[in-house]
């Protein structure tokens, strides 16, 4: 994705960033995205606490947008909220069907569930069993959306959506990798009334608006850190002209507060947001953690508990790895 460079004059000094940086490692209750521990860096800026947590496999160029978002949220005033709580969905990793009730029990009052499908090493039968278990747990009024993270080709996606359609899907998120594939799939399944959502085709694309211009999606999944912050994400949403779902990138409660700030500032918010993912952790840095209560999250900044920061501090070598990464990304922003 093409990054917008920061004017070095607008950046806080690198020493200021590093002086408050706390690197944490939070264990997950369920393996998700191939990891069992989530690492993140927290900073305290003049506006409050903020987060930098690109996944470890992302290169510095991609991760620099996440640092832009962290600096923006910690050092700049944010848009005023238009709402004070955000309805959120449960997130069901690629677990066995028998484990679905246990996962959903972690998401208090959520009426919508996003179900991971197309997991490497699994079959479509596993996806069907998982989605069926979610439908049983949520009942007929619950909403189910699936997320394939671009793992299917067009034929596989069409077949899978047909197989899963009986469970009344709200939408299918990033079923294929490319914009052209999404456009073709959308054409094929349009008669079924199942919308296509784009995630990676927005946050990892050279042009985050290409998928909207191509008519390849019915809605966009927006993640604030990869897009460079709340204000930049708001601009992308306004220009795209499509409904959106604000989602997290497996953030701590500090990062989730950033996502909630974006969701709260949107003029229109028709879908439950994917900001309840702190429920997948067995520990967090905020007490109480920013988890769904009666299906919603409050809007507002949060501050980490110093005791929890110490308790979940990453090992020294991991902390040094993150500090070096921050310095490299900072250099890419013009610092």
Which residues contribute to the annotated binding site for Mg(2+)?
147, 173, 199
What contacts 49, CB < 8 A, 6 or more positions away? 42, 43, 74, 254, 301, 302, 303, 304
Q: Is 116 a catalytic residue?
A: yes
Q: Which residue matches tokens 């990304």?
A: 329
Beta bridge partners of 41: 23, 52
**Which one of 114, 116, 190, 204 is the catalytic residue?**
116
> What is the C-alpha to C-alpha distance for residues 40 and 250, in angstroms, rounded to an integer?
10
| Torsion from C-alpha of 74, 75, 81, 87, nearest 10 degrees | -20
Strands in 22-32's sheet, in edge-to-edge order, are 22-32, 35-45, 48-52
Known active-site residue 190: no
Strand residue runs (E) in the chain: 22-32, 35-45, 48-52, 85-87, 90-92, 112-116, 143-147, 169-173, 196-198, 219-223, 244-247, 296-298
Tell me the binding residues.
Answer: 147, 173, 199
Sequence-separated (6 or more) residues with CB below 8 Å from residue 153: 176, 181
Would you say 277 and 103 are in contact if contact means Cβ atoms under 8 Å apart? no
Catalytic residues: 116, 223
């Amino acid at each position: 994705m093409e990054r917008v460079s920061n004017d070095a004059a607008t950046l806080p000094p690198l020493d200021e960033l590093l002086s408050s940086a706390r690197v944490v490692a939070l264990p997950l209750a369920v393996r998700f995205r191939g990891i069992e521990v989530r690492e993140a860096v927290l900073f305290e800026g003049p506006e409050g606490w903020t987060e930098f947590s690109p996944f470890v496999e992302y290169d510095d160029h991609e991760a620099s947008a996440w640092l832009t978002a962290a600096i923006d949220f910690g050092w700049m005033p944010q848009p005023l909220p238009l709402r004070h709580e955000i309805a959120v969905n449960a997130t069901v990793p690629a677990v066995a069907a028998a484990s679905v009730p246990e996962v959903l029990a972690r998401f208090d009052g959520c009426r919508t569930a996003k179900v991971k499908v197309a997991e490497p090493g699994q079959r479509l039968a596993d996806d069907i069993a998982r989605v069926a278990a979610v439908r049983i747990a949520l009942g007929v009024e619950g909403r189910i959306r699936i997320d394939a993270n671009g793992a299917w080709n067009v034929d596989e996606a069409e077949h899978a959506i047909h197989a899963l359609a009986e469970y009344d899907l709200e939408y299918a998120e990033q079923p294929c990798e490319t914009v052209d594939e999404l456009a073709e799939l959308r054409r094929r399944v349009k008669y079924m009334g199942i919308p296509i959502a784009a995630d990676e085709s927005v946050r990892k694309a050279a042009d985050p608006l290409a998928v909207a211009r191509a008519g390849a999606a019915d809605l966009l999944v927006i993640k604030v850190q990869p897009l460079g912050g709340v204000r930049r994400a708001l601009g992308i949403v306004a220009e795209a002209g499509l409904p959106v779902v604000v989602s997290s990138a497996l953030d701590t409660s500090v990062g989730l507060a950033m996502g909630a700030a974006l969701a709260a500032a949107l003029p229109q918010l028709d879908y439950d947001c994917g900001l309840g993912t702190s429920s997948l952790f067995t520990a967090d840095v905020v007490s109480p953690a920013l988890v769904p209560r009666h299906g919603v999250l409050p809007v507002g900044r949060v501050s980490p508990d110093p005791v929890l920061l110490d308790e979940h501090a990453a090992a020294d070598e991991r902390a040094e790895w993150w500090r070096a990464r921050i310095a490299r990304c900072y250099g890419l922003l013009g610092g």
